[in-house]
């Protein structure tokens, strides 16, 4: 791990201001993703701003829904009685991610901005446009079993690894932030992450120094909710594909560089299409680059199964 200077933030606004003033600074919350990447020297911040003690861990009712503080851990959110009762898709997604030890540490804010698990992003001997813009993408033409099938570009075929964010997408959550000038923003979850385009190094639409303070859940949707995840092991493994259903909303995980809200499928279903046809509409442009071809079929079946379970 390369040397860095360390400070503990006393407020969210101060943390945002400090991060904006020091290029190369990183926020440290639970540390489960950042410290792993710092040990591998994939992340090498010159300055680390510890936000772990900021009082942003509350889960409280808000406008008919729920406001989840950015520092609430995955364990705390999944165990919350209101989440379990009103937003089971979120509890299920959280419980399908990481291990108990990681969930006791990993925070809601950190989960949203965690970085891809693309093996070529982790392999510092290989080129990666995320690590080094312009270097090239070793995943293209590599062993692409984990790679994206939707929304990818020639610069990057990585996926976003979060389960939680997929559930949040289906729930139409809003991400609340503080900006370095002391202001606040409300960002719809689908506008938080970016598709790779020509600049996969820019992963979110957060501005320099901007800090996530909470996630707002709207009132629970009518209809069934559920999260299904397919992975290589039955427990503690990243996903190959996942699907979140919340009422009429449908979102996919591990298929793109952002949680993929399946709006085409939703529209097809609304127009009366059967589940399989709706899945085909969503996946019409999907490409697997060989290694991930199977994920197209897998995702098609996963969408169909989830919709049948919901009662399409």
What is the chain's percent helix, strand, coil content, to nearest 5? Answer: 30, 20, 50
**One of 42, 62, 102, 277 touching another protein (CB under 8 A):** 102
Give the residue carrying structure tokens 């990183």.
26
Q: Which of residues 5-24 bind another protein (CB under 8 A)?
A: 5-6
Q: Does 35 bind another protein (CB under 8 A)?
A: yes
For residue 245, what are its two tokens? 């259903």
- Closest by CA position to 307, among listed 258, 273, 256, 259: 273
Choose, by CB under 8 A, the member of 105, 185, 194, 287 that binds another protein. Answer: 105
Q: To the nearest 10°, the Cα dihedral for 204, 210, 216, 222?
A: -20
Q: How far is the CB of 220 from another protein (least distance, A)?
A: 13
Strand partners, 230: 241
Q: Which is nearer to another protein, 129 or 225 (CB)?
A: 225
What tokens does 274 get?
Answer: 């059967």
What number of CA atoms fall less than 13 Å from residue 103's CA on the CB side? Answer: 20
Residues 200-239 that bind another protein (CB under 8 A): 235-236
What 3-state class would DSSP assign to 65?
A: strand
Closest separation in Å from C-beta 5 to another protein: 5
Q: How far is the CB of 123 from another protein (least distance, A)?
A: 14
Q: CB 97 → another protein: shortest distance, Å?
A: 9
Q: How far is the CB of 25 from another protein (least distance, A)?
A: 14
Count of residues engaged in binding another protein, rule: CB under 8 A: 33
Which residue, 32 or 177, is less far from another protein as judged by CB?
32
* 3-class SS string, 156-214: ECCCCCCCHHHHHHHCCCEEEEECCCCCEEEEEHHHCECCCCCCCCCCECCCCCCEEEE
CB atoms within 10 A of CB 88: 17
The residue range among 35-43, 124-132, 153-161, 279-287 that interacts with another protein, by the rule CB under 8 A, is 35-43
Distance CA 49, CA 269 (A): 46
Task: Give residues 72-101 in contact with another protein (rule: CB under 8 A).
Answer: 75, 78-79, 81, 84-85, 88, 91-92, 95-96, 98-101
Residue 194, Ramachandran bin (φ over 0: left; ψ between -120 and 50: alpha; else beta): beta
Among 20, 44, 62, 104, binds another protein (CB under 8 A): 104
User: Which residue in the set 20, 42, 52, 224 belongs to the binding site for another protein (CB under 8 A)?
Assistant: 52
Q: Which is nearer to another protein, 163 or 172 (CB)?
A: 163
In the complex, minimum distance from the CB of residue 8 to another protein, in angstroms, rounded to a whole number: 8
**Site residues (CB under 8 A) for another protein?**
1, 3-6, 28, 31-32, 35-36, 39, 50, 52, 75, 78-79, 81, 84-85, 88, 91-92, 95-96, 98-102, 104-105, 235-236
């Amino acid at each position: 791990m390369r040397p860095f200077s360390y400070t503990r933030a006393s407020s969210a606004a101060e943390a945002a201001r400090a991060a904006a003033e020091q290029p190369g600074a990183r926020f440290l919350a639970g540390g489960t993703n950042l410290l792993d990447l710092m040990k591998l020297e994939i992340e090498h911040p010159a300055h680390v701003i510890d936000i772990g003690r900021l009082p942003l861990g509350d889960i409280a009712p808000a406008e008919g829904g729920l406001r989840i503080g950015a520092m609430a851990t995955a364990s705390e959110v999944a165990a919350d009685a209101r989440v379990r009762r009103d937003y089971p898709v979120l509890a299920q997604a959280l419980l399908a991610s990481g291990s108990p030890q990681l969930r006791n540490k990993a925070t809601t804010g950190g989960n949203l901005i965690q970085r891809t698990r693309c093996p070529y992003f982790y392999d510092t001997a290989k080129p990666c446009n995320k690590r080094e813009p312009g270097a090239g993408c070793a995943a293209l033409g590599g062993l692409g079993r984990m790679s994206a099938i939707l929304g990818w570009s020639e610069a990057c075929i990585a996926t976003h690894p979060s389960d939680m964010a997929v559930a949040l997408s289906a729930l139409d959550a809003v991400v609340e932030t503080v900006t370095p000038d002391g202001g606040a923003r409300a960002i719809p979850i689908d506008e938080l992450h970016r598709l790779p385009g020509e600049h996969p190094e820019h992963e979110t639409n957060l501005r320099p120094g901007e800090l996530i303070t909470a996630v707002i859940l709207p009132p629970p949707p009518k209809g069934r909710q559920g999260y299904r995840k397919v992975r290589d092991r039955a427990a503690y493994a990243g996903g190959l594909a996942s699907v979140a259903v919340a009422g009429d909303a449908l979102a996919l995980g591990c298929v793109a560089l952002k949680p993929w809200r399946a709006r085409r499928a939703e529209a097809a279903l609304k127009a009366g299409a059967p589940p399989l046809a709706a899945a085909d509409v969503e996946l019409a442009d999907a490409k697997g680059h060989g290694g991930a071809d199977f994920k197209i079929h897998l995702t098609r079946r996963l969408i169909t199964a989830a919709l049948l379970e919901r009662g399409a």
